Structure 1
Amino acid sequence: MEKLGCKKQWHLVFWCLVLVLPLFLIAECSVTERTRWNPASTSEQLRSFPPVKLHGRHDTHVVLDNGLVKLTLGNPGGMLTSIEYNGMDNILEHRNKETDRGYWDVIWSEPGEHGHGNILSGLHGTSFQVIGEDDNQIEVSFSRRWNPSDNNSTVPLNSDKRYILKRGCPGFYTYTILERLEGWRDINLPAVRLAFKLQGSRFHYMALSDDRQRTMASPEDRRAGKVLGYKEAVLLPDSVNPAIKGVDDKYQYSCDNKDNRVHGWISSDPQVGFWVITPSYEYRSAGPVKQELTSHTGPTSLAVFISGHYSGKDLNVFFRDGEPWKKVFGPVFVYLNSGSGGDNHQTLWQDAKEQMLVETQSWPYNFPLSKDFPHAHQRGTVSGRLMVRDRYISRELIPARSAYVGLAPPGELGSWQKDTKGYQFWNQTDDEGNFLIRGVRAGNYNLYAWVDGVIGDYKYETDIQITPGSEIRLADLVYHPPRNGPTLWEIGIPDRSAAEFFVPDPDPKLKTRLSRSNSDKFRQYGLWARYTDLYPDQDLVYTIGSSNYKKDWFFAHVNRRANDIYEPTTWQIIFHLGNIEYTGTYTLRIALASANGAHVKVWMNRDPNTTRRLFSTSLVGRDNAIARHGIHGLYWLYSVDIPASYLQSGRNTMFLQQSSPSSPFSGVMYDYLRLEGPPRSS
């Protein structure tokens, strides 16, 4: 009897395990509903998932399906018309035209005064091809070849759009190859991007960092609002949800390339997350601190590779004299995850971040089939150590801690920040200044660097040639930052940003909840106008020794508004010197974090209204970072020699004037200012 009772108990336990355990596992896996996806998974590891299927290769639409995700693409155009996932029949906005849901496009123009304006051109394919197909992976191509006899309205580029669906993958990969052949006509290429427009009735919550995530306004809210200083900025109506009141402007959600790894949207019913993951920024223009758009009201999610955002025309791509060119943009990973009800915003976001780390650690991928995308074994590495020598700080070499060190196409000092045609590879040093740059494409590069807390740029004097599989170890590199003499005073931190300076509270009517901690206070709309509010009659005066740049130095040197016109503003720096070395020359360093239609002039102990200036920049900058809520744009560094005769023992006054009054957005953001004394003998 005891044996029989025991047998019944085991039957009960068995059926509990059969019936209850799957429910428990489903509950435990309610976010991802799967083990963590890894792009390096083997075919054996993926055997439990359904094989990948391709349907409709001869129809007007092509369907890729792996049992988790189903993609529908127009044939041969290659526009993404539908993404099915987790019971949602189309994540994309089905009310839009099929060509306006998920797509690659470019903006281009012809040069010269007789050329037409910018043209938005979708990269519509004319030929469909299956590049690779088996149970574990399908890669398809939608390509178009340009014919020189085509009319002028067609962008003179070859394009090859690729989509990859892998077995067991809760998402898909996409990349595009753009090419120009030698002798093709000249063009400008201001923008290359990938865009997704999601179902507006479902996706309302946006996230791009731990701190920057929120419920977003809808297009209907924007249409009911008031357009402000430019069309992208709209003051939302009072009738909207108080949590989203304020200003909606897509530029409020920009971030640096180095931080632009994952962003996306969450639908509450059903609980689905849509995430654009960029595992590398090697194929984006202008290096790690180029600011770029991410996600914004639409709901829209972007991957932007080339643009003039926060730089202006300096970052347009200019092709002249029949220059040939080819570049691979991507792959980008579109990741999908899901929840089981309730408020899972943070759970889905954390899961997306973890997936981003997996993708980043797997870069460069070894599964894209284009010969133009080199796999890991076809790339090289560069390592070394960067040190700083500044004898006015230390007699010893100083390790360049947390410095950015990168490989970019050969050019002048600092040219990487304007490079748009090539690839760039960056990493940060450790506390000892050591760096390791992996996954570098074969080619010829210069090595560049800058050190947080140290003024200026570094460039290694010798070109670096990368070959497949090469491992290059450089001898210790030593950066000698610009320096003529000892520091007499300084304002700010040399970090290529104005974030450490005083950022005012916005106009209460315009205040917008953009982040949880208010860490990006500079993202608020209209801060440039607050200068006039704070300095209605007299300009900023900063006294060395008593003023505090965190409180007393306005983050942007802008114009003052008076009777609906804008007037130049002149700031003063008051400082005291002891005995003047009249046989020596003093040096003023001015580092700009941003410039937009600006003209900075400097006087020393002279009346700026009646005397000739000591120094003047040209009319510089088109980065528009002041209007677009950026705290930096392109970096500028000026060194000004000051004859000792311009100075005096005791009180001195330096005048800084921003003399271009063309708009409220004309001005500069200072990164750092330093006055150096004459050189000392060793």
Structure 2
Amino acid sequence: MEIGNKEDNRGYWDIVWNPPGERTGIFDVIKGTEFRIIYHDESQAEVSFTRTWDPSLEGKAVPLNIDKRFIILRGSSGFYTYGIYEHKEGWPDFGLEETRVAFKLRKDKFHYMALADNRQRIMPMPDDRLPPRGQQLAYPEAVLLVDPINPDLRGEVDDKYQYSCEDQYNNVHGWVSFDPPIGFWQITPSDESRTGGPLKQNLTSHVGPTMLAMFLSAHYAGGDLSPKFTDGEYWKKVHGPVFMYLNSSWDGSDPTMLWEDAKVQMMIEKESWPYVFALSEDFQKTEQRGCVSGRLLVRDRYIDDQDLYASGAYVGLALPGEAGSWQRECKGYQFWCRADVDGSFYIRNIVTGNYNLYAWVPGFIGDYKLDATLTIASGDDIYLGDLVYEPPRDGPTIWEIGVPDRSAAEFYVPDPNPNYVNRLYIDHPDRFRQYGLWERYAELYPDGDLVYTIDQSDYSTDWFYAQVNRRTDQNTYQPTTWQIKFNLDSVSPNSTYKFRVALASSTLAELQVLSKERKKDLAFSYLHPSFFLSNVITGNSSCMINVLAQVFFNDQDKGVPHFTTGLIGRDNAIARHGIHGLYWLFNIDVGSAWLVQGLNTIYLKQARSTSPFQGLMYDYLRLEGPCGC
């Protein structure tokens, strides 16, 4: 640990919480007020540090009983930690923004950071982020290294969000000291106590040297993933255990091989889950848990007359809710797996309780939910048989843009400004993690906005990865309007077409559908993000169609929009170098009267323009013809 820090700023559990009505989070390093030895013998020791809440602490401390546990095992090179949080009935309301375990290592020793085989490097020193060595960029986390201690890093950008990771891949990360050759790793063998599902992105390790085990955060999601506890509700949850693994290379071999050893240890930990040695009765062991299996098929008669295997589908259990609600679920446990090539799935080690089964299938839009609540009891092994997902579909595909995979990665991601480069991501699959890519849009389209022509344009080169605002001067931005041009050989009269728009991200954004001639501002109302827009979109070559927020029939005299979603999204994925945030799907009816034979144009306008980071990332767009056309 960093000996230059105070003792309580080296390694700690922390929490960020809000009293009722307060928006600014209170940061609290959790310190126990009571210490107990839970168990010890020659093979194992487990200790507990608890902090108990009582009414005298109202407004001063988060209304939770917190039990921090630490475990060491003989022959194990590291230690385990987990936490049990409890909110009792009748206790004050509060909101929970974040909780995690943080470690701050010695900056004079740990310089090499590793997150994945292709995401590891020598990192800057924390001093490099401070003036005059570092220059803050558009927000405090992003710093240009002007005069770093290691001159090889001069001119690079450092930003902790460049090292974020989806939870499904966030199993091991940490740091290496070359002298002495020591590795310090954070291993998470199970995602069950994390919130938001397998696609949720979280921080990992970053300059400090800092190493985090994130359990709950609003990163890449916004307040939807900050649980609120109201009306004195009861809540109890176990976070972890996670394993802090240390290894060394005293034989003089390449210290970076410590990463390879850490990956092996990660697999050992995953195979040992759930741990038999964690002694809290709130942490269920294998025999107390249950399993669910089955096979998922996809039925889309406009693709194939036969049901298709849901190959690679994400199938999971989360608290009961609407289809797709798992990505905003933040109070319970979640259990996920990937289906085999034939759609078969097997979810193991499920904590007892009530769940819905959810799924989504790469290559298809929308979310599946089994219309039954599953009650998991100890020892259950529930076989569900064949389940069939029928994704949204009203007619044949006329055209489509992108790949329905909940990411904008297939679209055009520009090269970074050479003055703001992180060299790790040059020629890297995650090229979207470079700083300042949002500013490249105006350089590519200085005089007009993006125009995409069906059957001529290529979405990998001609569809910018994010619809962002254009800077007009130092502090002013203007909205952008994209166009999709397409030809129709004929239009089926008195029919309804369907325009499907799936978003991979939205940050304080607003896409509109209104008549081209209509110029005056209109009032907006908020719509809950789980609502699926339907029943109105209109457009022809002289009608502006800006999707998802305002909807008009082609009537320039209409005083209010037929429908509006208003402001949507707070995932901040554009600024934080994430290629997606939360997923949104909108299914929009298009009256045939508003289409013409020949050239048609859909206009997509993102209307909010007070910040460079307001904008959208598209996942997939599709226009369907009427059924049977």
Counterpart residue type for residue 101 of structure 2: L
Corresponding residue for residue 276 of structure 2: 366
Gaps of 5+ in 1: 1-91
Corresponding residue for residue 577 of structure 2: 629
Structure 1 residue 356: deviation in Å?
0.4
Counterpart residue type for residue 225 of structure 1: G
Structure 1 residue 246: deviation in Å?
1.1
Q: Do 2:314 and 2:336's aligned partners in 1 also have CA atoms closer than 8 Å?
A: yes
Aligned positions of 1:320-331 closer than 5 A: 320-331=230-241
Aligned counterparts of 2:6 and 2:442: Cα–Cα separation in 1: 46
Q: 1:105 aligns with which of 14, 29, 34?
A: 14
Cα deviations by residue, 1:628-665 (Å, 9 ceiling, x for unpaired): 00000000000110000111111111100001102000
Q: 1:668 aligns with which of 616, 620, 629?
A: 616
Gaps of 5+ in 2: 515-538, 546-554
Counterpart residue type for residue 499 of structure 2: L
Counterpart residue type for residue 270 of structure 1: P
The answer as to 2:478 corresponding to 1:577 is no
Q: 1:405 aligns with which of 302, 315, 319?
A: 315
The answer as to 2:274 corresponding to 1:353 is no
TM-score with structure 2 setting the length: 0.92
- Local SS of the residue matching 2:412: coil
Structure 1 residue 590: deviation in Å?
0.4
The answer as to 2:94 corresponding to 1:183 is no
Structure 1 residue 341: deviation in Å?
6.2
Shift in CA distance, 428/137, structure 1 to aligned 2, threshold 3 Å: same
Aligned positions of 1:562-573 closer than 5 A: 562-564=472-474, 565-573=476-484
Corresponding residue for residue 619 of structure 1: 567
Q: Do 1:579 and 1:649's aligned partners in 2 also have CA atoms closer than 8 Å?
A: yes
Aligned positions of 1:120-199 closer than 5 A: 120-199=27-106
Cα deviations by residue, 1:118-149 (Å, 9 ceiling, x for unpaired): 11111110100010111000000000110012
Corresponding residue for residue 44 of structure 1: none
Counterpart residue type for residue 51 of structure 2: R
Aligned positions of 1:541-552 closer than 5 A: 541-552=451-462
RMSD, aligned CA: 1.5
Q: Do 1:506 and 1:525's aligned partners in 2 also have CA atoms closer than 8 Å?
A: yes
Shifted more, 335-344 versus 275-284: the winner is: 335-344
- Local SS of the residue matching 2:264: helix
Q: 1:555 aligns with which of 440, 465, 472?
A: 465
Cα deviations by residue, 1:370-418 (Å, 9 ceiling, x for unpaired): 0000001110000000000000000000000000000000011111001
- Local SS of the residue matching 1:550: helix
Q: 2:306 aligns with which of 378, 396, 404?
A: 396
Aligned counterparts of 1:363 and 1:517: Cα–Cα separation in 2: 36
Corresponding residue for residue 332 of structure 1: 242
Counterpart residue type for residue 220 of structure 1: D
- Local SS of the residue matching 1:103: strand
Aligned counterparts of 1:394 and 1:298: Cα–Cα separation in 2: 53
- Local SS of the residue matching 2:506: strand
The answer as to 2:601 corresponding to 1:653 is yes
Corresponding residue for residue 518 of structure 2: none
Structure 1 residue 518: deviation in Å?
1.0
Shift in CA distance, 448/193, structure 1 to aligned 2, threshold 3 Å: same
Structure 1 residue 238: deviation in Å?
4.4
Shift in CA distance, 141/516, structure 1 to aligned 2, threshold 3 Å: farther
Q: 1:279 aligns with which of 175, 186, 189?
A: 189
Q: Do 2:176 and 2:256's aligned partners in 1 also have CA atoms closer than 8 Å?
A: no
Counterpart residue type for residue 484 of structure 1: D
Counterpart residue type for residue 524 of structure 1: Q
Aligned counterparts of 2:153 and 2:239: Cα–Cα separation in 1: 37
Corresponding residue for residue 295 of structure 1: 205
- Local SS of the residue matching 1:208: strand
Aligned counterparts of 1:614 and 1:321: Cα–Cα separation in 2: 37
Cα deviations by residue, 1:564-613 (Å, 9 ceiling, x for unpaired): 31101000001011111012100000000000000012352234499577
Q: Do 2:145 and 2:153's aligned partners in 1 also have CA atoms closer than 8 Å?
A: no
Aligned counterparts of 1:116 and 1:495: Cα–Cα separation in 2: 34
Aligned counterparts of 1:541 and 1:364: Cα–Cα separation in 2: 52
Corresponding residue for residue 602 of structure 1: 513
- Local SS of the residue matching 1:287: coil
Cα deviations by residue, 1:288-322 (Å, 9 ceiling, x for unpaired): 00000000000000011111100111111101111
TM-score with structure 1 setting the length: 0.85
The answer as to 2:138 corresponding to 1:229 is yes
Structure 1 residue 244: deviation in Å?
6.2
- Local SS of the residue matching 2:24: coil
Give 1 or 2 for the bigger CA radius of gyration.
1
Counterpart residue type for residue 271 of structure 2: Q
Counterpart residue type for residue 25 of structure 2: N
The answer as to 2:210 corresponding to 1:262 is no
Shift in CA distance, 116/478, structure 1 to aligned 2, threshold 3 Å: closer
The answer as to 2:504 corresponding to 1:593 is yes
Q: Percent identity?
A: 57
Structure 1 residue 616: deviation in Å?
4.8
Aligned counterparts of 1:244 and 1:520: Cα–Cα separation in 2: 22
Q: Do 1:211 and 1:517's aligned partners in 2 also have CA atoms closer than 8 Å?
A: no
Aligned counterparts of 2:154 and 2:309: Cα–Cα separation in 1: 46
What number of residue pairs does the alignment pair up? 588
Structure 1 residue 117: deviation in Å?
2.6
Aligned counterparts of 2:362 and 2:273: Cα–Cα separation in 1: 26
- Local SS of the residue matching 2:423: coil
Shifted more, 344-353 versus 621-630: the winner is: 344-353
Q: Do 2:112 and 2:122's aligned partners in 1 also have CA atoms closer than 8 Å?
A: yes
Aligned counterparts of 1:94 and 1:290: Cα–Cα separation in 2: 33
Shifted more, 522-531 versus 615-624: the winner is: 615-624
Counterpart residue type for residue 146 of structure 2: P
Counterpart residue type for residue 490 of structure 2: N
Structure 1 residue 673: deviation in Å?
0.2
Counterpart residue type for residue 610 of structure 2: S
Structure 1 residue 323: deviation in Å?
0.9
Aligned counterparts of 1:598 and 1:310: Cα–Cα separation in 2: 14
Counterpart residue type for residue 414 of structure 1: G
Corresponding residue for residue 414 of structure 1: 324
Aligned counterparts of 1:517 and 1:355: Cα–Cα separation in 2: 30
Q: 2:159 aligns with which of 233, 241, 249?
A: 249
Q: Do 2:186 and 2:213's aligned partners in 1 also have CA atoms closer than 8 Å?
A: yes
Aligned counterparts of 1:470 and 1:93: Cα–Cα separation in 2: 47
Structure 1 residue 516: deviation in Å?
7.0
Corresponding residue for residue 531 of structure 2: none
Cα deviations by residue, 1:315-355 (Å, 9 ceiling, x for unpaired): 11101111110000000001111113657243111110111
Aligned positions of 1:49-128 closer than 5 A: 92-112=1-21, 115=22, 117-128=24-35
Which stretches of structure 1, 4 residues or more, deviate above 6 A after TM superposition? 612-615
Cα deviations by residue, 1:213-258 (Å, 9 ceiling, x for unpaired): 0000111111121101110100111454324641100000000010
Counterpart residue type for residue 6 of structure 2: K
Aligned counterparts of 1:615 and 1:289: Cα–Cα separation in 2: 30
The answer as to 2:347 corresponding to 1:437 is yes
Shift in CA distance, 342/515, structure 1 to aligned 2, threshold 3 Å: farther
Corresponding residue for residue 399 of structure 2: 489
Q: Do 2:425 and 2:433's aligned partners in 1 also have CA atoms closer than 8 Å?
A: no
Aligned counterparts of 2:543 and 2:626: Cα–Cα separation in 1: 25
Cα deviations by residue, 1:495-523 (Å, 9 ceiling, x for unpaired): 00000000001111001112475111000
Aligned counterparts of 1:452 and 1:301: Cα–Cα separation in 2: 32
Counterpart residue type for residue 387 of structure 1: L
Aligned counterparts of 1:244 and 1:442: Cα–Cα separation in 2: 53
Shift in CA distance, 343/237, structure 1 to aligned 2, threshold 3 Å: farther
Cα deviations by residue, 1:271-293 (Å, 9 ceiling, x for unpaired): 00000000000000111000000
Counterpart residue type for residue 138 of structure 2: G
The answer as to 2:111 corresponding to 1:204 is yes
